């Protein structure tokens, strides 16, 4: 009974069966919220956030959602997902408990909060599914407003195919051009810049994007008059309203408790959006939030008595029930039976989900009990931990952590006792097995692990012949991109000056002319939604290169990169992928805002993306060639100084591939190892040449990528030979040089082979100052490298290397 998506009425008359099914879903969803909150407060879950009060507009919106459409929502959308059959009540509770079984908890697998939904866009072979035949949901994130940027890309995919139908076949018919991208957001989150940036971009681009704003009058405890101009997002956005012969968006308003009006509004608004591809915003007002923001707080602390009384009367469920009775679509007995059925279904789902979760590691616990009993017997009862284990088992919310912590502490206490050799081995085996299984649950799938991993792409060196000409680095790139756009018909790129100009440094020169504005296009100055375009289009089967003009400007897009793109593979356990290549340029240049190298920030926040740092444009081209044969997202930072430097043109342009995670020995040496990347490689090579005048032979290693880093331990082999290592880069002290040092000394255990202190040579703590002199005194330079090496060599040869006394 119910939980089936009913046929949508073809007229404005809502069929009785359809309305009753909706009432069941709404009531069921409310019961799930009530029971979910109770589970948290009873101690059987850590945290909960629910969609109570938002049930009715979600039902109305779900009626317009068609196969092939995409959702990019937030953590209130449980009713919408129930209505589409994308969520079962058992899965709802599995998310709250943190269930790690993917079949029981397909949306989060225990890695994300509850009510964070996802549908897989991949088949078992890592290939894009036939998304046009299913309902689709992008993987949710908690960051308020963070769901907006990718929504733009999801909608852009449809527009691109609508206007260029020949692209359907290149996307395996996953995109028909008739889809709508649905977004949902709380009213308070419209205060975020990501919301305004996305709405503005959608209005400019005219893409089929529909956003429902749920307005319950508050953002946690902050009322709307302190959130939004004119206390109304629809009023504030009136300047965006589309008019004749203009772009813009359509704006609709409706009360969130008015079921028939909501059905009519969404039906008409989405139909227009689907037909004309004009963005639509639905401001859903007068909603309630019966249980408050989340399980962490209480709305009684900030809502007055009058507001709470109003919310009781205008609760969507109350008004829906009233409408059903007044229209004669149901009597009280019918509705009572529906409510009883919904309550029963919710309780059964909770019971089943809890049984699955609490019994999820019962076999391991039983094995541990046997080991504990053996220890007790072997010690004649002197080492009896059965009571402590029993106490853990009787906890309301048993956790894997508690059992593992208990087992490890017990092992610490017996590991040196000769009387417990057998038990030590048994306990050690149990701990190892339990930890290994837990690692599978929590520590895998940060990157692609199958055949589509970038680390499994077969490398191919650039080849040259006697007729190879020298051209500017920018032309190396443009010729390489020309091959790639021809090879990959689903390849697209966009960014500031990317289209008509061919990017600010001409690396895309001629691409728009050759392949069309639908594949090579300009974007406004809006970095977050440029990345969002990439994410949304990649989810639907495109291969996007999203260009951020300068590395310094990456910060504007940082939350979208960190919270959404970099974590997508991990938070979905590989069920969703968005192989976006973020292209930018940076490193040494003469100016504070165009000389950025914030590697520390990137390394700390973009795990899940590959970080490629070419020293020249041939290397950069080889990295793009590698990445496009794989499915991992990546950031490629081209060196700003390299565009006008001459390089030989490879005869296999567009085909050679630079392996990720494999450093290149640029210059061989025997006395000291330089570890660096990007433009600093050129300084290191120059310094190494000058050091030869003093009898010092330096080996220069270009790591090429920081993520991944030296997977074959090439640097270790160099340090074994030279016994000294210097890490050089342009990041702040303690940044990427410290990262590289940890990788080499700790992970590769190179410390054992040193005969002098390892050193780092980063930039200064401040941003680089202006001009040639500003750069020289802000960042590592040839002379500083020589000075540092001199002092390092002096540690073992004071006689031949007297102290330098500049200070």
Percent of the chain with pLDDT over 90: 88
Would you say 110 and 445 are in contact if contact means Cβ atoms under 8 Å apart? Answer: no
pLDDT band per the 50, 70, 90 thresholds, residue 1:
very low
Tens of pLDDT along 251-282? 999 999 999 999 999 999 999 999 999 999 99
Residues 6+ apart with CB under 8 A from 330: 16, 19, 20, 23, 324, 338
φ/ψ of 225, rounded to 5, equals: -65, -20
Mean pLDDT to the nearest integer, 85-89: 97
| Size of the chain in residues | 807
Contacts of 788 (CB under 8 A, 6+ apart): 726, 759, 761
CB 530 within 8 A of CB 150: no
* pLDDT tens digit sequence for 335-344: 999 999 999 9
In whole angstroms, give the CA distance from residue 186 to residue 284.
Answer: 10
Pairing type for strands 725-728 and 759-761 reads parallel
Local confidence band at 688 (pLDDT 50, 70, 90 cut-offs): very high
Backbone dihedral angles phi then psi of residue 483, each to the nearest 5 degrees: -65, -40
Query: Looking up tokens 């990137």, which residue turns up?
Result: 602
| Distance (Å, whole) CA 577 – CA 567 | 10
R_g of the chain, CA atoms, integer Å: 30
pTM: 0.96
Residue 2 has pLDDT above 70, yes or no: no
* Alpha-carbon gap, residue 554 to 548, rounded angstroms: 6
Q: Is the pLDDT of residue 4 over 50?
A: no
Which residues contact residue 443 at a Cβ distance below 8 angstroms, ignoring those fewer than 6 apart? Answer: none
**Helix (H), strand (E) at residue 706:** strand 705-707
CA distances to 178, 415, 786 from 165, in Å: 11, 68, 60
Would you say residue 3 has pLDDT above 80? Answer: no
Helix (H, G, I), strand (E, B) or coil at 110: coil
Per the CB < 8 A criterion, the answer to whether 504 and 137 are in contact is: no
- Structural contact between residues 177 and 166, judged by C-beta atoms closer than 8 angstroms: no
Distance between the two ends of the chain, CA-based, in angstroms?
84
Residue 355, class by beta-carbon neighbours within 10 Å (0-12 exposed, 13-18 middle, 19+ buried)?
Answer: exposed
Q: What is the mean pLDDT of the chain?
A: 94
At 14 the three-state DSSP class reads: coil
Q: Which of 574, 598, 580, 499 is nearest to 532 (CA)?
A: 580
pLDDT of residue 12: 55
- C-alpha 274/C-alpha 210 separation (Å) is 9
Q: What is the pLDDT of residues 274-315, one digit of tens each?
A: 999 999 999 999 999 988 788 777 788 888 999 999 999 999
CA pair distance 213, 184, nearest whole angstrom: 6
């Amino acid at each position: 009974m119910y939980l089936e998506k009913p046929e949508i009425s073809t007229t404005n008359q809502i069929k009785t069966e359809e309305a009753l099914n909706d009432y069941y879903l709404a009531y069921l969803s409310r019961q799930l919220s009530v029971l979910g909150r109770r589970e948290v407060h009873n101690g059987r879950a850590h945290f909960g956030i629910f969609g109570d009060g938002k049930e009715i507009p979600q039902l109305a919106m779900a009626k317009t959602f068609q196969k092939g459409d995409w959702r990019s929502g937030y953590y209130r959308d449980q009713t919408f997902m129930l209505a589409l059959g994308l969520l079962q009540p058992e899965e709802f509770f599995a998310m709250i408990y943190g269930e790690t079984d993917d079949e029981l908890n397909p949306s989060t697998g225990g890695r994300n909060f509850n009510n964070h939904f996802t549908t897989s866009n991949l088949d078992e072979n890592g290939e894009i599914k036939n998304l046009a035949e299913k309902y689709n949901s992008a993987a949710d994130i908690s960051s308020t407003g963070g769901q907006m940027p990718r929504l733009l890309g999801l909608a852009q995919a449809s527009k691109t195919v609508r206007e260029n139908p020949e692209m359907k076949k290149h996307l395996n018919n996953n995109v028909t051009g008739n889809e709508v991208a649905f977004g949902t957001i709380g009213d308070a989150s419209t205060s975020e810049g990501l919301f305004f940036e996305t709405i503005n971009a959608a209005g400019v681009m005219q893409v089929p994007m529909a956003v429902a704003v749920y307005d319950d009058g508050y953002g946690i405890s902050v009322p709307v008059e302190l959130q939004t101009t004119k206390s109304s997002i629809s009023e504030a956005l009136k300047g965006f309203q589309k008019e004749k012969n203009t772009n813009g968006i359509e704006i609709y308003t409706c009360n969130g408790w008015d079921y028939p009006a909501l059905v009519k509004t969404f039906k008409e608004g989405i139909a227009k959006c689907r037909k004309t591809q004009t963005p639509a915003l639905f401001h859903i007002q007068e909603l309630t939030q019966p249980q408050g923001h989340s399980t962490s707080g209480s709305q009684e602390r900030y809502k007055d008595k009058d507001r709470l009384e109003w919310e009781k009367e205008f609760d969507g469920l109350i008004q829906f029930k009233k409408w059903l009775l007044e229209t004669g679509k149901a009597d009280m007995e019918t509705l009572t039976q529906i409510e009883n059925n919904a309550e029963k279904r919710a309780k059964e789902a909770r019971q089943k989900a809890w049984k699955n979760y609490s019994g999820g590691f019962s076999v391991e616990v039983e094995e541990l009990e046997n080991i504990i009993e053996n220890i007790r017997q072997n010690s004649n009862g002197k080492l009896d931990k059965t009571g402590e284990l029993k106490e853990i088992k009787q906890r309301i919310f048993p956790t894997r952590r508690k059992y593992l912590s208990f087992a490890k502490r017990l092992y610490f206490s017996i590991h040196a006792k000769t009387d417990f050799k057998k038990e030590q081995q048994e306990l050690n085996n149990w701990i190892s097995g339990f930890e290994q299984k837990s690692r599978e649950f929590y520590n895998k799938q940060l990157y692609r692990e199958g055949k589509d991993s970038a680390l499994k792409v077969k490398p191919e060196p650039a080849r040259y012949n006697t007729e190879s000409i020298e051209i500017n680095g920018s032309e190396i790139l443009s010729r390489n991109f020309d091959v790639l756009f021809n090879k990959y018909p689903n390849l697209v790129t966009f960014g500031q000056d990317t289209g008509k100009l061919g990017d600010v440094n001409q690396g895309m020169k001629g691409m728009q002319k050759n392949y069309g504005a639908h594949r090579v296009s300009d974007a406004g100055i809006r970095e977050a939604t440029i990345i969002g375009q990439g994410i949304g289009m990649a989810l639907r089967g495109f291969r996007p290169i999203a260009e951020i003009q300068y590395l310094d400007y990456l910060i504007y897009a940082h939350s979208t990169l960190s919270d959404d793109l970099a974590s997508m593979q991990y938070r979905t356990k590989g069920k969703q992928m968005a192989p976006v290549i973020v292209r930018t340029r940076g490193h040494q240049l003469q100016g504070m805002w165009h000389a950025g190298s914030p590697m520390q920030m990137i390394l700390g926040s973009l795990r899940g993306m590959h970080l490629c740092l070419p020293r020249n444009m041939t290397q950069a081209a080889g990295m793009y060639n590698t990445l496009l044969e794989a499915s991992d997202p990546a950031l490629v930072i081209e060196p700003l100084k390299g565009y006008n430097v001459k390089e030989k043109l490879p005869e296999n342009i567009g085909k050679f591939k630079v392996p990720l995670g494999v450093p290149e020995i640029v210059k061989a040496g025997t006395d000291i190892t330089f570890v660096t990347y990007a433009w600093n490689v050129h300084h290191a090579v120059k310094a190494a040449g000058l050091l030869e005048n003093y009898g010092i032979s330096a080996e220069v290693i270009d790591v090429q990528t920081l993520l991944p880093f030296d997977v074959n331990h090439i640097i270790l082999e160099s340090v074994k030979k030279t016994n000294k290592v210097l890490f050089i880069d342009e990041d702040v002290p303690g940044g990427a040089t410290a990262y590289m040092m940890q990788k080499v000394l700790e992970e590769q255990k190179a410390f054992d082979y040193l005969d002098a202190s390892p050193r780092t040579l980063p930039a200064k703590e401040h941003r680089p100052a202006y001009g040639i002199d500003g750069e020289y005194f802000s960042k590592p330079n040839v002379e500083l490298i020589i000075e540092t090496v001199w002092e390092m060599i002096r540690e073992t040869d004071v006689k031949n290397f007297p102290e330098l006394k500049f200070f």
